[in-house]
Structure 1
């Protein structure tokens, strides 16, 4: 009997060690309430219309920037986020050439290797960019126009 209990304890101990090794904690990404996670970023659509600068300021206060878009998947995701939340025809994204004409940058400083301008755009109507909600293509508008907008922030690790 003693041998059997000892074997059982040994087996449980080995099993516990193996379980501890095989289930190392995985780092997960988390977003604040009402924000939506994609990859390692959090997104939120803001329905209140604001100028480009005011929209960027609100995003900064919330801990992020106007959304930067790095690929087609992210562009489609942002489009669906806007469509799901309201009936806006367009919304600000964080792309602008206000500093130097025809030299577009993201307000969060991220890489600008992806663009999705509509045919004939940008046409120098303005220095700030909106996403059109009918097709997800981009258009430059006057920065003092008012639209809804999307913010982005890095997701936190836990």
Structure 2
């Protein structure tokens, strides 16, 4: 397996997880106003957690795979909007898994809006920047939904693990 293969599987799994969380919130009538919830005043709102998680996939696909997917910069106003955008990007991931990505050791030079600069290989960029940021923002979305009373458990955060379930050894 290549870093591209691992990344695309992880991206698809996590985007599916986020969609499942949004679907549960919508089904529970959590209300679109829940998208404004924050864990702390200096943290991003739930809507932004979903949007940044999605943008981490887009940034990785843009930098490592040469995709031309624009970042989501417009706030989501409703659960259906969150779900539609997650689905739109998730369905593109398998196509990008078939394309040529940068060589694992090819350099990625990234400067954040605050001026902080990172230089690393393409594989390190995906492994050490994109995936941890995707997981962080997905975890924040999960935590905010739990705090707002949505009955979620680890199985809701890792639904892709169900395909590996086996009976306990006897």
TM-score in terms of structure 1 length: 0.22
Q: Between Structure 1 and Structure 2, whose CA radius of gyration is higher?
A: 1
